[in-house]
Structure 1
């Protein structure tokens, strides 16, 4: 009997030794994206004055450092050519050489070595003036709806286009607009369609279901004009 009990105890011991211990898995805390940077200078819709260099000059960009960010991408868009240049900096400020006599848009993207997530700031516009300039063209209009490549639904075959304009001289009060819309992008880009004039920053147009449309806005003040990028959209 004692031998039988001993064998049972040994079996229980061996089973307990061979059993796998459960390992408690602690989930990793996901890294957070850095905060959005707050832009400082050049201020929005402003004119940056430079010295006697009429070809290029240095512009200092400043922003409030964002929590969690270890570096920043400075994105500068030439609003006349609609081309964007991106430069990386460890912190604010950042100095970049730009051609004068042109409108620009800038934005800061906060980045971190701890995560692939980023955070993008607002976009601000400024005009970099050269020597002798006293009057400046309005900024190209920012097309807000429909966005480029967006699919939209139209109510009763009507769609409201919206955009925003600004001028470094007069603000918005003296601006007027001409809107070019067509199903042919080349006709819009070359302004080969009749423009629809308006003082507001909206225009309702007729559209057809399944159609693809392209649009562009010309902005004018008392002395000069500018043209937006060409956006395309599809109607459901």
Structure 2
């Protein structure tokens, strides 16, 4: 009986083994346009204020297709394209700031993977560039957070400028949308600020970034609720 039992166990293992479960895709690594740079390689689209830019990234494991998303930071409009390779071309507005990312997909699984988000300027006729709109680090918009022991919350953001000449930040913060109360003007060396808050209250905030040439950029309004 013993050899038969061993044989039956072997058959059971073989029958249950099968193929490995499909693995979710991994995040792609972005290559070009580079982070916080000016893209000067666009090809003019005749009769328009656009140029065609080739976006490139490294392929990622367990991925069948890639969705490129390029967002005009001035108009907050997003263009998308799905490809199977590691590059894609899009016509985008000249002289405008953009952010871009790549989503990795696999039809065998529901999970997707996002790359980092990079920002760049698409070259135009400008000799000086406005800063990139401030990128919110925390609190993320739509989040529910807890105030600290001093009944405060830290507003934290990141600024960048192609010309590397950031000057100041103006921080607007209020329970009204849009926030119109200027609560602080900070030098470019400081990109966070603590604010007093109340529990069970929704707050709105935004940052105006300025450079030494007098150019400005305003980010989208962020909102969060204090528990």
1:146 aligns with 2:136: no
Runs of 4+ that moved beyond 6 A = 51-54
Query: Which position in structure 2 is the counterpart of 1:18?
Result: none
Task: Count the aligned residue pairs.
Answer: 208
- 1:37-80 alpha-carbon deviations (Å, 9 max, x no partner): 11100000000124676700000000111111111000111111
SS in 1 for 2:172: strand
TM-score (norm 2): 0.85
Alpha-carbon contact 1:212-1:232 (below 8 Å) kept: yes
Shift of 1:113: 2.3
Shift of 1:176: 1.5
CA separation in 1, counterparts of 2:82 and 2:43? 26
Greater C-alpha Rg: 1
Q: What are the ranges of 5 or more consecutive residues in structure 2 without an aligned counterpart?
A: 1-11
CA separation in 1, counterparts of 2:43 and 2:126? 11
1:197 aligns with 2:185: yes
- 1:121-164 alpha-carbon deviations (Å, 9 max, x no partner): 0000000121x321100000101110011011111211110000
Query: Which position in structure 1 is the counterpart of 2:218?
Result: 227
Query: Which position in structure 1 is the counterpart of 2:5?
Result: none
TM-score (norm 1): 0.82
Query: Which position in structure 2 is the counterpart of 1:103?
Result: 97
In structure 2, do the counterparts of structure 1 residues 108 and 51 end up closer, same or farther at CA, with 3 Å as the change threshold? closer
Alpha-carbon contact 1:216-1:227 (below 8 Å) kept: yes
CA separation in 1, counterparts of 2:157 and 2:207? 8
CA separation in 1, counterparts of 2:202 and 2:140? 13
Query: Which position in structure 2 is the counterpart of 1:129?
Result: 123
SS in 1 for 2:129: coil
Q: RMSD value over aligned CA atoms?
A: 2.0
Alpha-carbon contact 1:32-1:117 (below 8 Å) kept: no
Bigger shift: residues 83-92 or 38-47 = 83-92
CA separation in 2, counterparts of 1:113 and 1:104? 29
CA separation in 2, counterparts of 1:195 and 1:41? 37
1:89 aligns with 2:77: no
Q: What are the ranges of 5 or more consecutive residues in structure 1 without an aligned counterpart?
A: 1-22
CA separation in 2, counterparts of 1:30 and 1:147? 34
Matches within 5 A, 1:1-236: 26=16, 29-49=20-40, 50=42, 55-130=49-124, 132-155=125-148, 156-170=150-164, 174-186=166-178, 188=179, 192-199=180-187, 200-223=190-213, 224-236=215-227
